[in-house]
Amino acid sequence: MGILIGASTRAIVQGVTGKQGSYQTKLMLDYGTKILAGVSPGKGGNTIEGLPVFDTVEEAVDSYSPDASIVFVPANYAQDAVIEAIANKIKTIVVITEHIPIKDSINMVSNAAQSHISIIGPNTPGIITPGECKLGIMPANIFSPGAVGLVSRSGTLAYEIAAGLKAKSLGESTCFGVGGDPVVGLNFIDALKLFKEDAKTRAVVLIGEIGGNMEEQTAEYLLDISILSLL
Three-state DSSP string of the chain: CCCCCCCCCEEEEECCCCHHHHHHHHHHHHHCCEEEEEECCCCCCCEECCEEEECCHHHHHHHHCCCEEEECCCHHHHHHHHHHHHHCCCCEEEECCCCCCHHHHHHHHHHHHHCCCEEECCCCCEEEECCCEEEECCCHHHCCEEEEEEEECCHHHHHHHHHHHHHCCCCEEEEEECCCCCCCCCCHHHHHHHHHCCCCCCEEEEECCCCCCHHHHHHHHHHHHHHHHHC
Q: For residue range 58-112, what is the model confidence (pLDDT) as tens digits? A: 999 999 999 999 999 999 999 999 999 999 999 999 999 999 999 999 999 999 9
The per-residue pLDDT of the chain, averaged, comes to 95
Q: Give the Cα separation of 88 and 214 in Å (integer).
A: 30
The whole-number pLDDT of residue 210 equals: 86
Over residues 42-56, the mean pLDDT reads 97
- Decide if pLDDT at 230 tops 50: no
* Alpha carbon 133 to its chain's center: 11
The whole-number pLDDT of residue 1 equals: 66
The whole-number pLDDT of residue 231 equals: 40
Q: For residue range 157-180, what is the model confidence (pLDDT) as tens digits? A: 999 999 999 999 999 999 999 998
Strand partners, 95: 71
**b/e map 190-215, b = 16+ CB within 10 Å:** ebbebbeebebbeebbbbbeeeeebe
% of residues, the chain, pLDDT over 70: 97
Domains and CATH numbers, the chain: 10-230 (3.40.50.720)
The whole-number pLDDT of residue 227 equals: 57
Q: For residue range 119-156, what is the model confidence (pLDDT) as tens digits? A: 999 999 999 999 999 999 999 999 999 999 999 999 89
Q: Give the Cα separation of 19 and 150 in Å (integer).
A: 29
pLDDT category at 213 given cuts 50, 70, 90 is confident
- Decide if pLDDT at 199 tops 60: yes
The whole-number pLDDT of residue 197 equals: 94
C-alpha dist (Å) from residue 17 to 37, 47, 155: 11, 9, 24
The whole-number pLDDT of residue 225 equals: 73
Q: Give the Cα separation of 23 and 104 in Å (integer).
A: 26
pLDDT category at 226 given cuts 50, 70, 90 is low
pTM equals: 0.95
* Alpha carbon 221 to its chain's center: 23
